Amino acid sequence: MMERRLHPIMLAGTGSDVGKSVLAAALCRIFRQDGFHPAPFKAQNMALNSYATPEGLEIGRAQAVQAEAAGIPCSTDMNPLLLKPSSDHTSQVVLNGKPIGNRDAYDYFRVEGREQLRQAVNAAFDRLSQKFNPIVMEGAGSISEINLKNTDLVNMPMARYADADVILVADIDRGGVFASAYGSIMLQEPEDKKRIKGIIVNKFRGDIRLFQEGVRILERICEVPVLGVIPYFKDIHIEEEDSLSLEYKHLQAEQGKINVAVVLLRHLSNFTDFDRLEVDERVHLYYTNNTEELQKADIIIVPGSKSTLDDLYELRRNGVAQAILKAHREGKTVLGICGGYQILGREVLDTEGVEGSIHQLPGLGLLPTSTSMTGEKVTRQVEFSFRGKEGLRGYEIHMGETRMLEEGVEPFVVFPDGHADGCFINQKCMGTYIHGILDNAAFIDFLLEPYASKLEHSELDYRAYKEEQYDKLAAHVREHLNLPLLYQIMQGE
């Protein structure tokens, strides 16, 4: 079985947030465990959560997570087209890892000019499929948005190009599973309808035996097999694709732990920076823009932002800026990451209108820095040393250049070539452009050290922890998925 090439498989959805990304990560790990060399692929992703490839190019974080599950380095061919929303109507368009400009949604989804993008995503798939097998493809949103059929780059037209077997993922937790699965299939063109080879019912709660009749009904009305009913899980931690889940992390401070508050910005990006902290037993992490909850934190982190000036304006308007300054005066730790680093400086300038109509705002003034927005984006993976600790890793994805307004200011980290990044005032006030800084145990220990008297827990090996989570996810999906039937489908039997 392992010597034969498998068809590409696409996980398509009855809607958004049905669990396609996590299931794709599970299949990447399962195929790897079974002796194959899988790779993930999503032609077009819309997310603020991105990641830098080893070559210093930008892709959606979900595909980087899936590549990690597959045990391979991520590349832009896994997500050739990334849309990063900058407002309700416009997005930055990142093609093959590099931004090509901001596009209005109406203009982007017009038929004109789509062929160039279609050729680019098809070429990326071709390159990937020459190196890996099978390709685990992910659709976007719902496959039954028939009003967008002529401009769709990511769902059934992509499956057609790749000659992929399509598995429809339906979320039973939100209700309407029969209608959404049946409707999604019946709205397809005849040739696309034939391509849908099965259904996975995801996020089931309760006793699966109670849904056995439901499985038979679903198979009868949809005329394809149900490959599995996957139970909802809470004890497996996989990085989320988008920030919808942050609404459920609006938690209050806790006694007996180090309380870390992440400022909930409107345009918060790269929130996976905090996944390592979230599973650290020493820490209680919560997201808030409530000024009272910020005052209860030991550590306040101002995170990355897709629209720094817009978020800085909002922080000043809603009183959060004043709450951060008050916390700093009272001896709390304040850390800025990327856009948060820019916000903690003395000023942010955007004379060229890179971000929008706000051209200048005073920052919070905790760091002696000035940031000027530029049209060129920095994306790269980095290795650095921090206060004598070498070999730490992270990545940069940012617009803007930050300069020191005072001499003799200590940098946050130093790169092997001698260049520096960030600004270090003291152990309780600092900022950096480096995402993933919190994945490094040495920095975590440094950050938590002033509050160590509150607890005694050992540090966490986050890389080993993530590998354990991928294995747990794979075991969970294996238990509830008809894997022999899936392999038969992917072998064309």
What confidence tens digit (pLDDT) does each residue in 440-467 have? Answer: 999 999 999 999 887 755 566 788 888 9
Mean pLDDT of 429-445: 95
Measured between alpha carbons, how far is residue 206 from residues 190, 203, 232, 490 in Å? 36, 10, 9, 30
Note the pLDDT tens digit of each residue in 312-321: 999 999 899 9
Instruction: Rounding to the nearest 10 degrees, give the CA dihedral for residues 338, 339, 340, 343.
Output: 130
pLDDT score, position 343? 96
Q: Which of 267, 284, 328, 435 is catalytic?
A: 435
pLDDT at 257 over 90: no
Note the pLDDT tens digit of each residue in 83-111: 888 766 778 889 999 888 877 766 666 66
Measured distance CA(129)–CA(8) in Å, rounded = 8
pLDDT score, position 316? 92
The answer to whether 422 and 412 have CB atoms below 8 angstroms apart is yes
For a pLDDT cut of 70, what percent of the chain falls above it?
A: 93
pLDDT score, position 457? 56
What rounded mean pLDDT belongs to the chain? 89
For a pLDDT cut of 90, what percent of the chain falls above it?
A: 65
Measured distance CA(415)–CA(397) in Å, rounded = 16
Measured distance CA(216)–CA(234) in Å, rounded = 28
pLDDT at 2 over 70: no
Note the pLDDT tens digit of each residue in 341-391: 999 999 999 888 888 888 899 999 999 999 999 878 889 999 999 998 999
pLDDT score, position 410? 93
The domain made up of 9-237+468-490 has a fold known as: Rossmann fold (3.40.50)
pLDDT score, position 13? 93
Q: Give SS3 for 85.
A: strand
Mean pLDDT of 46-54: 86
Query: Where residue 248 falls among pLDDT bands split at 50, 70, 90?
Result: very low
Note the pLDDT tens digit of each residue in 264-302: 998 888 888 998 898 888 999 999 988 888 999 999 999
pTM beyond cutoff 0.85: no
Alpha helices per DSSP H over 6-144? 20-33, 61-70, 105-108, 114-131
pLDDT score, position 464? 87
pLDDT score, position 154? 92
- CA angle, residues 413, 419, 421, in degrees to nearest 5: 40
Note the pLDDT tens digit of each residue in 73-86: 999 999 999 988 87
The CATH homologous superfamily of the domain defined by 257-454: Class I glutamine amidotransferase (GATase) domain (3.40.50.880)
Identify whether 284 is a catalytic site residue: no
Query: Where residue 252 falls among pLDDT bands split at 50, 70, 90?
Result: low
Mean pLDDT of 145-154: 85
Q: Which of 28, 74, 338, 423 is catalytic?
A: 338
pLDDT score, position 14? 94
Higher-confidence residue of 410 and 150: namely 410
pLDDT at 251 over 70: no
Let me know how long the chain is: 493
Identify whether 74 is a catalytic site residue: no
Contacts of 393 (CB under 8 A, 6+ apart): 381, 382, 383, 384, 436, 439, 440
Ranges of each domain in the chain: 9-237+468-490, 257-454
Contacts of 418 (CB under 8 A, 6+ apart): none
